[in-house]
Amino acid sequence: MCGIVGAVDRRDVTSLLTEGLRRLEYRGYDSCGIAVLQQGALRRVRSVARVANLAAEVAAANLSGMIGIAHTRWATHGAPVAKNAHPIFSSGEIAIVHNGIIENHESLREELQAHGYVFESDTDTEVVAHLIHRMWTEQAAQGAKDLLCAVRHALERLHGAYAIAVFARNDPGRVIGARAGSPLVVGLGEQGNYLASDVMALAGAVENFIYLEEGDIAELTLDGVRLVDRSGHAVQRDIKVHRASTHSVELGPYRHYMHKEIFEQPNVIADAIERVDTISADLFGQGARHAFREIDSVLIVACGTSYYAGMTAKYWLESLAKVATQVEVASEYRYRSSVANPNTLVVVVSQSGETADTLAALKHAQTQGHRHTLTVCNVASSTMMRQAEFQHLTSAGPEIGVASTKAFTTQLVALFLLALTLSKQRGRLPAAQEATFLDQLHRLPGKLNSVLALEAQIIAWAETFARTDHALFLGRGLHYPIALEGALKLKEISYVHAEAYPAGELKHGPLALVTSQMPVVAVAPNDALLDKLKSNLQEVRARSGQLYVFADADSRIASGDGLHVIRMPEHYGSLSPILHVVPLQLLAYHTACARGTDVDKPRNLAKSVTVE
Ligand code: AGP
């Protein structure tokens, strides 16, 4: 989603800003821009093309300056056209970039228009620019100009979420940053000080960071950084060292990050379980041992792929630990009037740890009276990790492709460990069973490699899927969420319309869609529901549907007329979903490649959805 970079430096900042935007591209955007203070004037370049084009335009326009701000925009208010791209200016005096949504922008717009401000964009951000300008000129009239103070008073008028970076034409040595609801970090360097919405933007440039807290406002100059809270009182925040591995954001021999990330799964899962030699609540942080004993149920809240990880975990938690589990989409839960049980463990699952709906759901659960909360997340420094009582880092490493792959399988590993932990605490995990599960976990990377070896067969299927406009995915039980995830992957990167159903539901409606033109993908592990699934597949064949089945080696399903089978390894028990999702990731990936879509940055989508 939107990205921010800002800088005060002893050198020209344009290349640092454009490189920062390049590093934020993975979040998804539809326009970008950069503004600097050059020879006493605000200058900017904005583009609806890629950051690479913006960099070329910046060079062509001879843009340079020692302070500046830059932005990648994912449109919310106002179409993705140049006039709505950030930085947004007010009266040639104030420049601002903004992530988030200002909910009361309409009333503020009317108020500012009444004061003579003329709006040039359709964005909610422009009201913030004009508000700051208004405060700034009011201060000037009283002979007391303080940009931080002007920003702080403007922010008092806003309802909604924001991370902003601001500078003023008349205040050449200062950039102001502020956050409420959207992340923002300060990078501390030897040549200057910087702002970014994500540490990744400053990877390689600085290693010392301050993670701003809710309501914090930062003033960056060459001499240092001053922090105040929303009331203007000075605050201190810890400096954290973050040595970003530039290696992990390089593509290497792969064409796309998604492909690279699919193939990283054996290694990242091996890393995630390397030190797990016994099942213990300590895997979830200090104090979890005691708190987990108190809980009598689990509520998992998440969005998108992370929600499907939660759905899979429900099966594990209820079958292995016998702990009643509910799973809810975060954007629904946060606005639903629910009955809080203080003995419920609320688990939020998120790759980024910044998804606005999931973060709001976590806060909502806490205000509703849920005492125990756990974040399962891939970003150690994220807001969700800081907000919850307990934490578990999934250790997948940076995931750049918008379509989540390795984050999903590592979430599944983490949630499986949670189910085993609760099971052990409740005396339901005999030592021999624990040893068997641990052994299966440690052999999982090898099994994943054998699934990845099926790629050539999947590429052949992808040729067919690239020519279709619709597909159905079927699964049962523990593999129904995997069918949902397969359909989501296909939709989001190849734009093929795909729906997933529990196979037993087919006859209650979706069977009407089945014709000889409809590919139907079935996830067919050799589990207790296999015979039921086979009957469901017969229902499809009887209507001439084309079946594409991922069948365990021991599931006795053979290819035949209209029945295409790719043979998976032998059934892998409770961990089978982690194997079965991988061919679906590859099918979506190769279908998207065959259709020539922008695999890593699919249209309309963002990596981290930091607005509602
Ligand atoms: C997955 O492929 C999607 N891009 C999306 O559904 C994602 O899982 C969702 O937005 C949640 O993100 P999070 O895990 O960072 O919270």
pLDDT per position as a tens digit, 382-391: 899 999 999 9
Q: Is 388 left (phi over 0), alpha (psi -120 to 50) or beta?
A: beta
Out of 163-172, 180-189, 246-255, 481-490, least confident range: 246-255
Residue 249: pLDDT above 80? no
Ligand 1: does its nearest atom lie under 6 Å from the Cβ of 125? no
> Which of 387, 393, 394, 378 has the alpha carbon at shortest distance from 359?
387
Supply the angle between the helices 265-273 and 431-452 in degrees, to the nearest 10: 160
Residue 142: pLDDT above 50? yes
Task: Record the tokens describing residue 432, joined without a space.
Answer: 């021999």
Report pLDDT for 42: 97
- State the distance from the centre of ligand 1 to the C-alpha of 356, rounded, in angstroms: 11
Ligand 1 closest atom vs CA 302: 16
* Full set of structural domains in the chain with CATH: 3-244 (3.60.20.10), 252-449 (3.40.50.10490), 454-612 (3.40.50.10490)
| Radius of gyration, CA atoms only, the chain | 26
Ligand 1: does its nearest atom lie under 6 Å from the Cβ of 358? yes
Rounded to whole angstroms, the Cα distance separating 381 from 401 reads 20
Residue 251: pLDDT above 90? no
Catalytic pick from 314, 489, 601, 607? 607
Ligand 1: does its nearest atom lie under 6 Å from the Cβ of 403? yes
Residue 498: DSSP 8-state: E
- 96 forms beta bridges with 88, 166
Residue 183: pLDDT above 90? no
Q: How confident is the model at residue 76 (pLDDT cuts 50, 70, 90)?
A: confident
Report pLDDT for 93: 96
> Which of 256, 258, 264 has the alpha carbon at shortest distance from 445?
264
Rounded to whole angstroms, the Cα distance separating 567 from 210 reads 50
Q: Which residue has the higher pLDDT, 27 or 129?
A: 129
Task: Record the tokens describing residue 467, joined without a space.
Answer: 């020519």
Instruction: Report helix, strand or coil for 72.
Output: strand
Q: How confident is the model at residue 381 (pLDDT cuts 50, 70, 90)?
A: confident
- State the distance from the centre of ligand 1 to the C-alpha of 184, rounded, in angstroms: 20
Residue 611: pLDDT above 80? no
Catalytic pick from 2, 32, 149, 303? 2
Task: Record the tokens describing residue 404, joined without a space.
Answer: 């989540």
Ligand 1: does its nearest atom lie under 6 Å from the Cβ of 402? yes
Ligand 1: does its nearest atom lie under 6 Å from the Cβ of 383? no
Ligand 1: does its nearest atom lie under 6 Å from the Cβ of 493? no
Cα first-last separation, the chain: 11
Residue nearest to atom 4 of ligand 1 (CA): 403
Ligand 1 closest atom vs CA 303: 11
Task: Record the tokens describing residue 424, joined without a space.
Answer: 């052990």
Per DSSP, the chain holds a count of helices (H) and strands (E) of 18, 24
Rounded to whole angstroms, the Cα distance separating 3 from 163 reads 9
Backbone angles phi, psi at 520, to 5 degrees: -120, 115
Q: What's the sign of the alpha-carbon dihedral 189, 18, 174, 12? A: positive
Ligand 1 closest atom vs CA 608: 15
Ligand 1 closest atom vs CA 305: 8
Bridge pairing between strands 192-196 and 185-188: antiparallel
- State the distance from the centre of ligand 1 to the C-alpha of 443, rounded, in angstroms: 27
| Residue 2 is among the residues annotated as catalytic for this protein | yes
Ligand 1: does its nearest atom lie under 6 Å from the Cβ of 348? no
213 touches 194 (CB < 8 A): no
Amino acid identity of 597? T
Rounded to whole angstroms, the Cα distance separating 356 from 371 reads 21
Bridge pairing between strands 297-302 and 344-350: parallel
Q: What's the sign of the alpha-carbon dihedral 50, 51, 52, 54? A: positive
Select from 74, 258, 305 the residue to mutate for testing ligand 1; criterion: most ligand atoms less than 8 Å from CB. Answer: 305
Amino acid identity of 115? H
Residue nearest to atom 9 of ligand 1 (CA): 304
Rounded to whole angstroms, the Cα distance separating 566 from 559 reads 8
Which secondary structure element, helix H or strand E, spans residue 346, and what is its range? strand 344-350
Ligand 1: does its nearest atom lie under 6 Å from the Cβ of 355? yes
Q: What is the biggest distance separating any 2 CA atoms in the chain, rounded to whole angstroms? A: 85
Instruction: Report helix, strand or coil for 88.
Output: strand
Average confidence score pLDDT of the chain: 94
Name, in order, each residue with C-beta under 8 angstroms of 578's C-beta and a sequence gap of 6 or more. 269, 409, 412, 413, 444, 448, 572
DSSP string, 155-194: HTT--B-EEEEEEETT-TT-EEEEEEBS--EEEE-SSEEE
pTM, two decimals, is 0.79
Neighbours of 485 (CB within 10 A): 32
Rounded to whole angstroms, the Cα distance separating 326 from 317 reads 10
Backbone angles phi, psi at 256, to 5 degrees: -135, 150
In percent, the amount of the chain with pLDDT more than 90 equals 82
User: How far, rounded to the nearest angstrom, does the alpha carbon of residue 175 sit from its chain's CA centroid?
Assistant: 28
The total number of residues written for the chain in this structure: 612
- 37 forms beta bridges with 42
Alpha helices in 503-575 (DSSP H): 530-541
Which secondary structure element, helix H or strand E, spans residue 592, and what is its range? helix 576-595
Segment 48-77 shows an average pLDDT of 93
Q: Which residue has the higher pLDDT, 250 or 329?
A: 329
Report pLDDT for 248: 61
- Sequence-ordered strand ranges (E) for 361-509: 372-377, 390-393, 470-475, 497-502
| Residue 447 is among the residues annotated as catalytic for this protein | no
Task: Record the tokens describing residue 473, joined without a space.
Answer: 């995915």
Q: How confident is the model at residue 529 (pLDDT cuts 50, 70, 90)?
A: very high
Bridge pairing between strands 344-350 and 372-377: parallel
Burial class from Cβ neighbours inside 10 Å (0-12, 13-18, 19+) for residue 77 reads middle
Burial class from Cβ neighbours inside 10 Å (0-12, 13-18, 19+) for residue 288 reads buried
Residues 13-45 pLDDT 10s: 999 999 999 988 877 788 999 999 999 999 999
Rounded to whole angstroms, the Cα distance separating 369 from 353 reads 22
- State the distance from the centre of ligand 1 to the C-alpha of 307, rounded, in angstroms: 8
> Which of 170, 132, 123, 164 has the alpha carbon at shortest distance from 151?
132
Residue 247: pLDDT above 90? no
Instruction: Report helix, strand or coil for 284.
Output: helix
Ligand 1: does its nearest atom lie under 6 Å from the Cβ of 382? no
- State the distance from the centre of ligand 1 to the C-alpha of 375, rounded, in angstroms: 15
Instruction: Report helix, strand or coil for 85.
Output: coil
Select from 182, 303, 406, 605 the residue to mutate for testing ligand 1; criterion: most ligand atoms less than 8 Å from CB. Answer: 303
Residues 447-486 pLDDT 10s: 999 999 999 999 999 999 999 999 999 999 999 999 999 9
Backbone angles phi, psi at 129, to 5 degrees: -60, -50
Amino acid identity of 435? A
